């Protein structure tokens, strides 16, 4: 039995930029070769990146892919297995893997299982493949699978029956909480069941709302993890196959992350990739003295550095002194650019213009929204003038029930906490404080009762149930698809459940105009939960 | 040969409201029976409406559908053919048609061709059927097809080979310019080719961004249109089959609409349905003296009546007297509620707050955006206080190149002209003036050069090519998917083409936060053109 070395390119493609991706893949292959690797495996659709959405339908795609193949043909003396879009002469399009050596294509595999649920739309773009690809190299029998294929017992069984020793699995598997560990555990059991070594290379990086965690790995056919790459980082991971032992060498792996660390790092990477790839020089956000903006600020600084982060406190009559102090303290702690802009004169001039229209109508949420929209407009003004991206700071609990102002605090290009429930916001804030010597978020921000400060002595719990109750109801309704009746049957107050569900349903129009934000849950809004705005579905059974 | 009578229910379902839809279907069936019809055909998925999106995934759907069947079982002495969601015991879900008489289900047909391109996502929800349904009734042989099925030559051929005389086709076929006529022409040729009578019942009504025009029809196997329903209206259309002649009686049909009339009526219906079904008492919009808001106002008044429409003119230093005069004149013409709110004090107070941050930075688009955002905030204030829906007034040309302000003039819940290029806006304004005795849109609004009036003496053509050139480039790039090189090769100025494409690509983030608006083209933004925001695809080949 021969020994050999495999490289796993945990690679972050620039979506759509086929030219740049091919160049980077070439570099990685050459680097792997310099480290004496015999084979390098790239993620699913590595040439164009995942998900490229309707760019996959542009007529020049096959021409561009061809140019990428010419670029990759220049790599010598190493086998490359990489994902690409295979457009055949009969007009079919496949999500495929090529096996290439010294510029020759040794084989092409077309993905057989096309996910078309949740965040996936592969049947919009691709045809299904119907054939396995198996090749011998270095006296070893390899098979190729692409992402969803490895989750189909049928497909894997067929491959194993071809006496394949190692399945090379190309992936673009999106992150959600706990997914890295769930993947390894499932694959470990599968490897053992099928008596098959698994080499699993995953895309890494943030792409719009999707996060790819990487966490690539090699698992031996006995189920043991030979090696695992870190999450949320580009890496070239190596694994040695020891011929004598007929297994991949077990070496030290990156440690598995504890849940809050995992989420925090996911959000940091997503924010960094969005800012950098959208070409903004930095970010700006409104700091309110509350926990959402405090956590968003910490993530922004960890993502792109304090020198590229600007925050503005925009107090009004109802803003407490505590809020101004805490915001200023955190800004100072973190070493960012910070300014204060009083909004009273602007809000007052809005009021004066509107009074003749309002007549004797009593004050209501309208006046509160004016405060939020004045702040939004100020942030956008600063963004327009200096070019920084506005980060919005709302969380998933707020966005679910519409406890946020469209064109106000919802302003921004990237909503860092969009898919993070308020109860998790608290946990993340505590986690972030726990990893530095001195807390970056003032303690008081975490401990005082949350308030939007849009009315005197307001707290969030004037309008909403306690956040632990709210989040539990939301989770049941959104993530678990439970009905109103079933949630009430779990023991929650019926009126509270009805109100929460009514608010979630009603506020679809607001969410539809919100900015994108990184998905960390198993049911994020927008791409994954596609509800009509005009919606006559009645809550109940 | 027996004679009989068929009723086509050109029906506007309330999406998701299965209970209300079933009740309405029951009423329509009873009405058709009172008119001595032997059979009534409803549109595709009539019980839940099309497209119900992820409501189709809710666990209680099958229970709700069952209740709808119980309701419909009460109808006696008429055969009903209607679309519904068929969930089988093995966990499969089909887009189906039921044939029911006197509460008995005589047959079920599962749609065989599931569209999953353009605006369609049926493979996210449904499994494919593999069997035809044929039934004899009144000595006549009927077959059933659902929407996409009739566009698949293979499927239709198979049905024709079963000696079917009439194909009952249940549809939810979305509108786009020219589609009603295209449908009839294609189906007429098909009927002749297949020697098959076609009874084509289509959904009608606006649902979020989609418009269903109805325009149901009956076509005889010789290709002649027996009868055609009007577009954009709920109708119960009848057709008599004359046994002796072995054909459906040819009667007077609703006239085919000229293009501008068709688009105008489409926009009116879409606006009406959105306002009514979202539960707003009326609408409000900003009237600028320009053609986009003038046309939007006319559509709004035609949709829901002048008494439910409010407009506000919000002049600033750069607003010309002409604009104020024209806006006031149109408001008076149309008999709507109209007010004027000067925005200078508000914009000035924004400026004063921002000056300390801006320092010596030169004036740029930032200051222009402040005007637009002040107007947006005022409109939202009036909307929040009195409950009217804000209509946004931007057109497709602007939205394509980002010639609009996020959170400014893009504010609103429904963008009536979102999918209407500026050159078509002009045509529609002229059309609207042509159909009333006195023009409702002042002539000068149509003839003067378009301007955003955000700078002294500004016109749109300071920043953009002439609209006929701009729209031609946009159409080639968006609707026709042409590459930059190919568009330049058509003879357009290379620098202009490059600039336009750069702007379209760059402004995806803006469109993503815009409101929905009715689709009238063959490539509308959002649901139909799904581009990533972070997008490294380089224009060129």
Can you list the domains of chain A with their CATH numbers? 4-257 (3.60.110.10), 261-460 (3.40.50.620)
Integer angstrom CA distances of residue A351 from A362, A370, B23, B353, B385: 13, 8, 47, 17, 12
Integer angstrom CA distances of residue A110 from A105, A114, A144, A189, B17: 14, 10, 9, 25, 42
- Per-residue model confidence (pLDDT) at position B541: 82
Tens place of pLDDT for every residue, chain B, 541 residues?
799 999 999 999 999 999 999 999 999 999 999 999 999 999 999 999 999 999 999 999 999 999 999 999 999 999 999 999 999 999 999 999 999 999 999 999 999 999 999 999 999 999 999 999 999 999 999 999 999 999 999 999 999 999 999 999 999 999 999 999 999 999 999 999 999 999 999 999 999 999 999 999 999 999 999 999 999 999 999 999 999 999 999 999 888 999 999 999 999 999 999 999 999 999 999 999 999 999 999 999 999 999 999 999 999 999 999 999 999 999 999 999 999 999 999 999 999 999 999 999 999 999 999 999 999 999 999 999 999 999 999 999 999 999 999 999 999 999 999 999 999 999 999 999 999 999 999 999 999 999 988 888 888 888 899 999 999 999 999 999 999 999 999 999 999 999 999 999 999 999 999 999 999 999 999 899 999 999 999 998 8
Instruction: Give pLDDT tens digits for A98-126.
Output: 999 999 999 999 999 999 999 999 999 99
- Per-residue model confidence (pLDDT) at position A119: 98
CA distance B21 to B23: 5
Contacts of A534 in chain B (CB under 8 A): 14-15, 207-208, 273-274, 277-278
- Per-residue model confidence (pLDDT) at position B263: 98
Of A343, A353, A483, the CB nearest to B341: A353
- Per-residue model confidence (pLDDT) at position A463: 86
Per the rule left: phi > 0, alpha: psi between -120 and 50, beta: everything else, A138 is: left
CA distance B174 to B171: 9
Mean pLDDT of A387-392: 98
Residue A245: how many CB atoms within 10 A of its CB? 12
Contacts of B366 in chain A (CB under 8 A): 381, 384-385
Contacts of A357 in chain B (CB under 8 A): 339, 341, 382, 385
Binding annotation of A for L-glutamine: 117, 173, 179
Instruction: Give pLDDT tens digits for A301-311.
Output: 999 999 999 99
DSSP assigned state of B214: B
Cβ–Cβ gap B381/A366 under 8 Å: yes
Contacts of B341 in chain A (CB under 8 A): 353-354, 357
Is A404 in the active site?
A: no
Instruction: Give pLDDT tens digits for A22-35.
Output: 999 999 999 999 99
- Per-residue model confidence (pLDDT) at position B462: 87
> Is residue B223 classed exposed, middle or buried when 0-12, 13-18 and 19+ CB atoms within 10 A define those classes?
middle
- Per-residue model confidence (pLDDT) at position A483: 96
Is B404 in the active site?
A: no
Q: If you measure CA to CA, which chain B residue comes closest to A13?
A: B536
Cβ–Cβ gap A381/B354 under 8 Å: yes
Cβ–Cβ gap B15/A532 under 8 Å: yes
Binding annotation of B for ATP: 286-293, 393
What percent of chain A has a predicted confidence (pLDDT) above 70?
A: 100
Strand partners, A311: A285, A338
Residues in Cβ contact with B153 at an 8 Å cutoff, skipping those fewer than 6 apart:
none
Cβ–Cβ gap B20/A116 under 8 Å: no
Residues B5/B44, Cβ–Cβ less than 8 Å: no
- Per-residue model confidence (pLDDT) at position A537: 97
Best residue of B388, B532, B539, B540 to probe chain A, by most A CBs closer than 10 Å: B532
Number of CB pairs, chain A paired with chain B, less than 8 A apart? 236
Residues A44/A147, Cβ–Cβ less than 8 Å: yes
CA distance A369 to B508: 27
- Per-residue model confidence (pLDDT) at position A1: 75
Among residues B297, B460, B521, the alpha carbon closest in space to that of B391 is found at B297
- Per-residue model confidence (pLDDT) at position B134: 98
Instruction: Spot the catalytic one: B5, B24, B44, B221.
Output: B44
- Per-residue model confidence (pLDDT) at position B461: 87
Mean pLDDT, rounded, of chain A? 97
How many helices (H) and strands (E) would you count in chain A?
A: 16, 20
Mean pLDDT of A460-466: 90
Is A111 in the active site?
A: yes
Per the rule left: phi > 0, alpha: psi between -120 and 50, beta: everything else, B91 is: left
- Per-residue model confidence (pLDDT) at position B288: 96
Kindly report the nearest CA distance between residue B422 and chain A, in angstroms: 23
Residues in Cβ contact with A359 at an 8 Å cutoff, skipping those fewer than 6 apart:
none
3-state helix, strand, coil in chain A (%, to 5): 40, 20, 40
- Per-residue model confidence (pLDDT) at position A454: 87
- Per-residue model confidence (pLDDT) at position B458: 87
Structure-block tokens of residue B108: 């079920």
- Per-residue model confidence (pLDDT) at position B454: 87
Give the DSSP H or E segment for B438.
none
Please name the residue that has the structure tokens 């007529």. A59
Instruction: Spot the catalytic one: A5, A24, A147, A262.
Output: A147
């Amino acid at each position: 039995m021969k020994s050999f070395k495999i490289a796993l390119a945990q690679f972050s493609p620039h979506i759509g930029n086929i030219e740049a991706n091919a160049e980077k893949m070439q570099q990685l292959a050459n680097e792997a070769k310099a480290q004496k690797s015999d084979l390098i495996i790239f993620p699913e659709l590595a040439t164009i990146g995942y998900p490229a959405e309707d760019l996959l339908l542009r007529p020049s795609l096959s021409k561009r892919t061809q140019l990428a193949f010419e670029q990759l043909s220049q790599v010598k003396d190493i086998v490359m297995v990489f994902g690409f879009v295979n457009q055949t002469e009969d007009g079919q399009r496949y999500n495929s893997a090529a096996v290439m050596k010294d510029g020759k294509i040794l084989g092409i595999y077309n993905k057989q299982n096309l996910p078309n649920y949740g965040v996936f739309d592969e049947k919009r773009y691709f045809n299904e493949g119907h054939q396995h690809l198996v090749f011998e190299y270095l006296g070893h029998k390899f098979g190729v699978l692409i992402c969803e294929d490895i989750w189909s017992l049928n497909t894997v069984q067929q491959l194993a029956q071809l006496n394949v020793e190692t399945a090379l699995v190309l992936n673009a598997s999106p992150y959600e909480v706990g997914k890295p560990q769930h993947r390894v555990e499932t694959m470990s059991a599968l490897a053992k069941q099928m008596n098959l070594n698994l080499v699993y290379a995953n895309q890494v990086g943030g792409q719009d709302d999707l996060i790819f965690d990487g966490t690539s790995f090699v698992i031996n056919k006995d189920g043991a993890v030979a090696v695992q790459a870190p999450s949320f980082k580009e890496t070239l991971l190596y694994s040695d196959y020891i011929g004598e032992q007929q297994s991949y060498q077990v070496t030290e792996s990156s440690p598995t992350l504890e849940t809050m660390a995992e989420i925090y790092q996911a959000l940091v990477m997503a924010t960094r990739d969005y800012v950098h790839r959208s070409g903004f020089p930095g970010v700006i956000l409104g700091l309110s003295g509350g926990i959402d903006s405090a956590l968003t600020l910490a993530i922004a600084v960890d993502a792109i550095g304090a020198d590229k982060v600007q925050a503005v406190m925009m107090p009004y009559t109802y803003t407490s002194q505590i809020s101004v102090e805490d915001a200023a303290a955190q800004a100072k702690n973190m070493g960012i650019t910070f300014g204060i802009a009083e909004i009273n004169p602007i809000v007052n001039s809005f009021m004066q213009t509107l009074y003749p229209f309002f007549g004797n109508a009593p004050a209501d949420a309208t006046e509160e929204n004016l405060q939020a929209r004045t702040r939004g407009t100020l942030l956008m003004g600063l963004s327009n003038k200096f070019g920084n991206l506005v980060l919005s700071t709302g969380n998933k609990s707020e966005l679910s029930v519409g406890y946020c102002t469209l064109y106000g605090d919802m302003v921004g290009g990237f909503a860092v906490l969009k898919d993070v429930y308020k109860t998790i916001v608290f946990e993340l804030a505590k986690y972030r404080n726990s990893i530095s010597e001195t807390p970056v978020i003032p303690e008081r921000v975490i401990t005082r009762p949350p308030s939007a400060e849009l009315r005197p002595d307001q707290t969030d719990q004037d309008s909403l149930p306690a956040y632990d109750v709210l989040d539990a109801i939301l989770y049941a309704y959104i993530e678990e698809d439970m009905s109103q009746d079933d949630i009430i049957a779990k023991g929650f107050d019926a009126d509270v459940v009805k109100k929460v569900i009514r608010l979630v349903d009603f506020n679809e129009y607001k969410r539809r105009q919100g900015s994108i934000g990184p998905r960390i849950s198993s049911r994020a809004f927008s791409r994954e939960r596609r509800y009509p705005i005009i919606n006559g579905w009645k809550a109940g059974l």
